[in-house]
Chains A and B, each alone.
Chain A
């Protein structure tokens, strides 16, 4: 049985990474129906900025804080410079803008920093923790805790705070939201800042495991996006469950079937789920009033 446990722990480690990335998608999606494909670049920036700040001599926590703040600022800039001017455009155009932004950020990072792969030390060392014959690295626990913490915060934010409800209202009907006194521009800016900050936090937490370089964002965004779709776009619970499910699916396929079919098996399950439940596992049903 230690094999099963090891596969499970591996799946949870990877799944928590996907879940953290997927959680970043939810806020912007909830505020504007836009799937932000630059989300992966936020994760990459979190890791890269932390590495270079740490390499420049700053202590790790300070470096991580700087990375999160700088990335949040980049998120705001992305909204102000690219999304806001195109406000009237259909959602598809906005999504294409985020793809452009992601290519731009990748290119800029490769010029500002470098093209090498980097890693900074794990927060609590590299000594594996033994659980019933299987092992997990302490950093994986940090990632899992990070994903849970972000999930709880987001859930409280969307259900218990006025501003969270304002975000949902903006997505639902921008004009109506403005009519009841919601500053929709502010809501959009806030949601980009928060999404970018969550992305950067994910980058800070996962880099000791996944390593980082200027081009890791795309792969992370794709897996995170798949996880979010599986769980139901826009729902923090969906992002968390979708991410973990995807990770465990991959690990089990790699362990019991063949590592060759790992990605294929995961995507077949996603397709099957979306076929039966187009909104994902926890997605909200869309009911349009006619």
Chain B
């Protein structure tokens, strides 16, 4: 604590002593390379792109944004080193990052001690539950995805399901969250199978699920290649029941990997960003997601992803907070972030409170169905 105080004091002195360098310095530690690079890569690109855009439009409160970005490679140890460096050497006023739950959890104590606001880009509910004063996050939690899926099942009078989950971090976490709330929806899990993240064939598990009497639908919490293979095996075995995938694979790449034919009819909760073109004109998110999608795809030549959207929202929340705070003082920014109201982002409309440092509700998810190799909104 003393150390943190010294750091803050030092930051203040330096800040006072050098008013000529009035840029607002924000930090980021992102997994641009390494196993989580397909998340971190679009996140880093998005941050750089948006900061450029904001500065070109005159900056925030008349001051330019300066982005200090580090690549932690998905390694929590490195992330922690960079987090300390951001706070002590770079003296940033706020930090975005922590691509994975692992890196986020490792760096939260650094920012809590230094009292620097931190907006995480990782999924786990543990990041904001229990609420920590300086920690926020933008992606929906796994539990919300489960709730969205179960709501849709309930609507379709499905009461008995089978689950096949990835045994990687994402799959295991979502599996746990889903099981913890499934009872609230009057749904029973009759079969509960798993597969390894690098497995090449899931037909044995699916055969067992298919053989269970009374199952009305199958849910596959998972990430990466696993769900694509499950979907292909599901078609191979002609299981013939509705298949629900998670938000972890909500991307055009998933349809391509699974094949349009095998993926036909698959349902999953996704963000508005994925179906920007399908949103009705009246949708408040339409303008935001279309603008981001066009800008990102023009700048990088690559299709936009949900993960980049998380970084987009984090930066928007931060910039909005700095504007409202009228100052670039970390604690003022923190208070302003907590007061975020009705901010329309790519993942949903964000309204934070002292008890809710995520600020999204279930309407942030759209229930999507894959039809003829494309998406359809089904609500």
Contacts and interface: CB of A to CB of B under 8 A. Distances in A.
30 contacts: A3-B207, A3-B208, A6-B203, A6-B207, A7-B204, A10-B201, A10-B207, A11-B204, A13-B201, A14-B199, A14-B201, A117-B225, A117-B253, A117-B257, A119-B228, A119-B256, A126-B235, A126-B261, A128-B236, A135-B237, A206-B200, A210-B225, A211-B229, A251-B201, A254-B205, A255-B205, A255-B207, A255-B208, A260-B167, A262-B195
A251 B261 contact: no
A252 B35 CA distance: 30
B205 A259 contact: yes
Interface string B50-66: 00000000000000000
A284 interface: no
A183 interface: no
B103 interface: no
B353 interface: no
B211 A216 contact: no
A244 interface: no
B262 interface: yes
B257 A119 contact: yes
Contacts of B203: 6-7, 9-10, 135, 251
A206 B198 CA distance: 13
Contacts, number: 91
A259 B198 contact: no
Contacts of A259: 193-195, 204-205
A248 to B, nearest CB: 10
Interface residues of A, number: 36
Contacts of B90: none
Nearest to A212: B225
Contacts of A255: 204-205, 207-208
Given A110-B37, A126-B261, A6 B194 contact: no
Interface string A108-127: 00100001111100000010
B259 interface: yes
Contacts of B195: 254, 259, 262
A62 interface: no
Given A110-B33, A116-B253, A260-B194, 19 more contacts: A3-B208, A10-B207, A14-B200, A115-B37, A115-B41, A117-B224, A117-B228, A119-B257, A126-B235, A126-B236, A135-B237, A211-B228, A211-B257, A216-B198, A220-B198, A251-B204, A254-B205, A262-B195, A262-B196
Contact of B196 (A7, A11, A116, A263): A263
A215 interface: yes
B52 to A, nearest CB: 23
A213 interface: yes
Contacts of A14: 199-201
Nearest to B236: A128
A73 to B, nearest CB: 26
